[in-house]
């Protein structure tokens, strides 16, 4: 579990670091709306910067989402299965779908990034000709981070298949819905001890 938590720690750190892109996006969109509609002086750089910030956020927070088990999952039947079956199913599906897709992301992402660096690629949509080769370098980096986190998920699956319990994840922020649900459960247990 030390290895799993070390990998999760890396994924959490990268996700939190790139989470600041949300603040940058919010400020830049607000600034652009103000100067465009109030001052009638739109910028030439804001649109490209917003695309790159959103792309960076999306790419670099993938491993974070996987580490927190927050990816969207159609689990109508899955959640009804015993934990050992869930873990076995996850284990097989990681090899069938996840890792081949991530290897393709790293492989082709590296080709895209190296071509972009070779040509010193700039945005053809931008009158400011903003450089995008730095941004394209994030594609293979995100793939490598996802691959490392995927390895940690395989270890989780093996542990769950052996123990019939999912190992604990490193705690981070929770959605309001989850917090309210936990508060409701705690309140019910306080009123009716022994009930779950």
Q: Is the residue at 128 inside a domain?
A: yes
Q: Is the residue at 54 inside a domain?
A: yes
The pLDDT tens digits of the residues spanning 158-167 come to: 999 999 999 9
The pLDDT tens digits of the residues spanning 47-95 come to: 888 888 889 999 999 999 999 888 777 778 888 999 999 999 999 999 9
Is the torsion defined by CA of 87, 164, 181, 57 positive or negative?
negative
The pLDDT tens digits of the residues spanning 129-181 come to: 788 888 899 999 999 999 999 999 999 999 999 999 999 888 776 666 666 77
Q: Is the residue at 159 inside a domain?
A: yes
Q: How confident is the model at residue 124 (pLDDT cuts 50, 70, 90)?
A: confident
Q: Is the residue at 196 inside a domain?
A: no
* Residue 192: pLDDT over 80: no
Number of structural domains (the chain) is: 1
Q: How confident is the model at residue 99 (pLDDT cuts 50, 70, 90)?
A: very high
Cβ-based neighbours of 118, under 8 Å, separated by 6 or more: none
Q: Flag the least confident range among 23-27, 86-90, 116-120, 129-133.
A: 129-133
pTM: 0.81
137 vs 117: CA distance, rounded Å: 8
Q: Which domain holds residue 85?
A: 2-191
Q: Is the residue at 39 inside a domain?
A: yes
CA distances from 116 to 123, 137, 141, 176 (A): 11, 8, 15, 41
127 vs 37: CA distance, rounded Å: 20
Q: Is the residue at 183 inside a domain?
A: yes
Q: Is the residue at 72 inside a domain?
A: yes
């Amino acid at each position: 579990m030390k290895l799993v938590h070390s990998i999760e720690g890396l994924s959490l750190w990268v996700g939190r670091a790139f989470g600041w892109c949300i603040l940058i996006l919010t400020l830049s969109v607000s600034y652009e709306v103000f100067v465009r509609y109030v001052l009638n002086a739109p910028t030439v750089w804001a649109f490209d910067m917003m695309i790159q910030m959103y792309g960076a956020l999306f790419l670099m927070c993938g491993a974070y989402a996987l580490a927190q088990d927050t990816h969207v999952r159609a689990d109508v039947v899955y959640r009804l299965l015993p934990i050992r079956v869930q873990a076995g199913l996850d284990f097989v599906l990681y090899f069938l779908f996840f890792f081949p897709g991530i290897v393709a992301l790293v492989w082709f992402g590296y080709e895209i990034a190296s071509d972009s660096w070779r040509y010193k690629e700039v945005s053809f949509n931008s009158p400011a000709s903003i450089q995008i080769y730095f941004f394209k370098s994030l594609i293979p980096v995100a793939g490598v981070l996802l691959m490392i986190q995927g390895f940690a998920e395989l270890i989780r699956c093996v542990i769950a298949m052996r123990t019939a319990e999912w190992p604990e994840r490193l705690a981070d922020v929770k959605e309001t819905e989850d917090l309210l649900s936990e508060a409701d459960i705690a309140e019910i247990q306080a009123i009716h001890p022994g009930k779950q």
